[in-house]
Amino acid sequence: MAEGPFFSAYAETDAHRRHLPHWQQGEAWCFVTWRLADSLPEEKLGLWRAEREAWLRRNPEPWDEATEADYHERFSHRIDEWLDQGCGTCLLREAANAQVVAAALRHFDGARYVMGAFAVMPNHVHVLFRPLGGHLLADVIRSWKGFSAREINHRLSRNGTVWQDEYWDRLVRSERHLLTCAAYIRNNPAAAKLHPNEYLWESKF
């Protein structure tokens, strides 16, 4: 059996918004995706943002399960499909850069969070984990992105933005949902038609 805790509609949820809404509920499992800064064409993103803002005006928070699922189907999944097309420089296709990201994800496993699964794709990263001991979702992700950006820039002898500022996250509602997220991470490289040397993947499930 997969270990909880999972999202509960009856428990308090911490929410904040930058350009995207973000949620955390204690130590509940989270499924998070973030991408390289040049991974999506601005033209596509502009249309996506406009559609999303219109949807958000029609569907103010808090959301029930069906409304949240509709949000992710319309917006998170579309981003995933675009990312799988392999746009941009795809810095993470280079094994050494992907290993930098994987090392960051493993580093505080068991201390600041429990790592369930991750996939480092050529231009984006999926992570399934749960925070521990009061560590904030935003702080954990900032640490991963900050460390890996510095290390990748150093090894490439360059400066500049590595990651897109925002990330997409979803609270996991049940063991079944957890295993579905883990299966998505496991299957994403095949869905994107990647060769074994073009990605890194690990899972405890």
| Domain 27-38+89-203: which CATH number of 3.40.50.970, 3.40.190.10, 3.20.20.140, 3.30.70.1290 | 3.30.70.1290
Decide the pairing of beta strands 21-24 and 124-131. unpaired
pTM listed for this prediction: 0.79
Q: What is the pLDDT along the chain (205 residues), one digit of tens a residue?
A: 466 687 565 455 555 554 445 565 778 999 999 999 998 777 777 787 888 889 989 998 777 878 878 887 888 777 778 777 878 899 999 999 999 999 999 999 999 999 999 999 999 999 999 999 989 898 999 999 999 999 999 999 999 899 998 888 888 888 999 999 999 999 999 999 999 999 999 999 9
Q: Which helix (H) or strand (E) holds 30?
A: strand 30-35
Largest CA distance in the chain: 50
Cis peptide before 62 (omega within 30 of 0): yes
pLDDT of residue 26: 74
pLDDT of residue 19: 45
pLDDT of residue 180: 93
The full DSSP string for 16-29 is: EESSSEEEE-TT--
Length of the chain equals: 205
Rounded to 5 degrees, φ, ψ at 156 are -95, 0
The full DSSP string for 87-118 is: -S--GGGSHHHHHHHHHHHHHTBTTTEEEEEE
Sheet bearing 168-171, strands edge to edge: 168-171, 30-35, 124-131, 113-120, 200-203
Cis peptide before 122 (omega within 30 of 0): no
CA dihedral sign of residues 32, 184, 148, 164:
negative
CB 127 within 8 A of CB 109: no
